[in-house]
Structure 1
Amino acid sequence: MSQPPDAPRAFRDAPVSFVRRSGRMSDAQERAFAQLAPRYLLDVPRDAAATSVHPDARLDPAAEYGRTAPLVVEVGSGQGQAIVHAASTRPDDDFLAVEVYLAGLARTMLEADRAGAGNLRLVEANAPEVLGHLLPEASVRELWVFFPDPWHKSRHRKRRLVKPGFGALAARALEDGGMLRLATDWEDYALQMRDVLDAEPAFERAFRGEWAPRFDGRVVTAFERKGAAAGRVIRDLAYRRRDRP
């Protein structure tokens, strides 16, 4: 990981799609950080905040994973169920979980260690900064955004992750032909996601009809069960990164 020369700024320039929660971690989660973070958690140079990424910071995937392999990135990995399952069943691919909640990161590291997922790394960081400059351009084979915070109140929707501008960030990180996969249980957010990505010229739909079929690589998580129990319909989207000129 390259180190930046300058001191961090004091504030972020734009709202983020999360609010840091200060819930106490369990003893097992505290031990996970102490014991497993050196193996799994990327040491990211910061800028304006604890979850920021310095503009000069760059990840070298080949150096970090010790090989050259397809890279799959999940934004908002939560408790890690989806990405740990994928990493443990797809040993020929590398995986990066992007999350800001410490308890979720700790749980993911615990599960990864139990599953022997040595091809998984985690980063505690704001996703747009990861996509915008930490990852090398065209370095990602698949990008997953499953059940992001819907910010369903109208006054909060500016905080949504998938909004105008997100498509360009995702397109920068994805390789030509790479896949962007999304899922949500909030209909209005699903419609917004589709509108945003349909308008991004770097992407084309990888589905027919209104919605994509369920991605068979997405395991059922607590977020999905909660949405289904509340009677909300789960909607998937899939977009393919067009070839660069």
Structure 2
Amino acid sequence: MSELRNPTTGQAPQSPIRAKSEPRFPGGPVADPAGSHHERRIRSFQPRRSRVTAGQGDALERLWPVWGMDIDGHRVLGLDEMFGGLPVVLEIGFGMGEATAQMAAEDPGTGVLAVDVHTPGQGNLLGLAERNGLSNIRVANGDAIILLREMLAPRSLDGLRVYFPDPWPKKRHHKRRLIQPEFLTLAAQRLKPGAVVHCATDWEPYAEQMLEVLSAHPDFENTRDDGGYAPRPGFRPLTRFEGQGLDKGHKVRDLLFRRR
């Protein structure tokens, strides 16, 4: 069959060009939803641009209006309504979402508010939630600091998970690491008494910093009597990323601290 052409110009039709302000996926997550580039604050993450598969894109377009939300900083979330009264754990940085989906499947009585800026991972987690019938997952796009500071009520969270955050290994970049005293103070305001902060990393210097700042913070206490690292709990799956680190000889450290 011959190619259709414009009868006036005789040229083949051109693919529409998407403006920078238009979302990549209609009805899906938007870039920088809170306009956080106007905020003078060092951020602990960098948006990663990588290929979105057809399946991930389909999930973003169909499921984002149902289970997704942009972190715009314009409202306080009603977690009871969002999760039907379930206790809610905030997970910051879920990668491709495999571990998040597995934990949600094994603990359907807990809601998971999973935050990331990685579009392929957002689509992948939404697809996993649909395929596995997981109604206890919501996916948030944007800056977790804005979410904690402006969109969550005091004492609204039953736990916080930060698994394998960017270690920012260069000394001049250490200020970008997420686990800092200021972050813990903000998180403590949103956590219920007794809620657990669970961090994991395969970067030993960052593990040492995590242990130091968590141990020194007045709002948290180590669940370990010896004041050290915890063995990986059975509820945290071994992730693909973690397996790669172990293959390289990295030591994986878990830290579990309780909100006083």
Look up the match of 2:30.
none
Look up the match of 1:220.
238
Look up the match of 1:112.
129
Q: What secondary structure is seen at the aligned counterpart in 2 of 1:42?
A: strand
Look up the match of 1:27.
54
Look up the match of 2:249.
231
- CA–CA distance in 2 between the matches of 1:187 and 1:10? 31
Residue 154 (structure 1) shift: 1.0
Look up the match of 1:185.
202
Q: Deviations over 1:100-133 (max 9, x none)?
A: 1101111111111111101110101211222222
Q: 1:142 to 1:8 in 2, by over 3 A?
A: closer
Residue 28 (structure 1) shift: 1.2
Look up the match of 1:3.
none
Look up the match of 2:19.
none
Contact 2:48/2:117, CA 8 A, preserved across alignment = no
- TM-score (normalizing by structure 2): 0.83
Structure 1 residues without counterparts, runs of 5 or longer: 1-6, 46-53
- TM-score (normalizing by structure 1): 0.88
- The more displaced of 227-236 and 214-223 is 214-223
- CA–CA distance in 1 between the matches of 2:88 and 2:254? 21
Residue 24 (structure 1) shift: 2.1
Q: Deviations over 1:160-214 (max 9, x none)?
A: 1112312112211210110001110011100111111112101111113321121
1:12 aligns with 2:29: no
Contact 2:71/2:143, CA 8 A, preserved across alignment = no
Equivalent of 2:221 in 204, 209, 214: 204
Residue 44 (structure 1) shift: 3.6
- CA–CA distance in 1 between the matches of 2:94 and 2:77? 19
Look up the match of 1:168.
185
Q: Identity of aligned pairs, percent?
A: 38
- Poorly superposed stretches of 4+, deviation over 3 Å: 7-10
The number of residues matched between the two structures is 226
- CA–CA distance in 1 between the matches of 2:233 and 2:77? 28
Contact 2:103/2:235, CA 8 A, preserved across alignment = yes
Q: Deviations over 1:19-49 (max 9, x none)?
A: 112212111111111111112102443xxxx
Q: What secondary structure is seen at the aligned counterpart in 2 of 1:220?
A: coil
Determine which structure has more spread, i.e. the larger CA radius of gyration. Answer: 2
- CA–CA distance in 1 between the matches of 2:219 and 2:240? 32
Structure 2 residues without counterparts, runs of 5 or longer: 1-33
Contact 2:71/2:146, CA 8 A, preserved across alignment = no
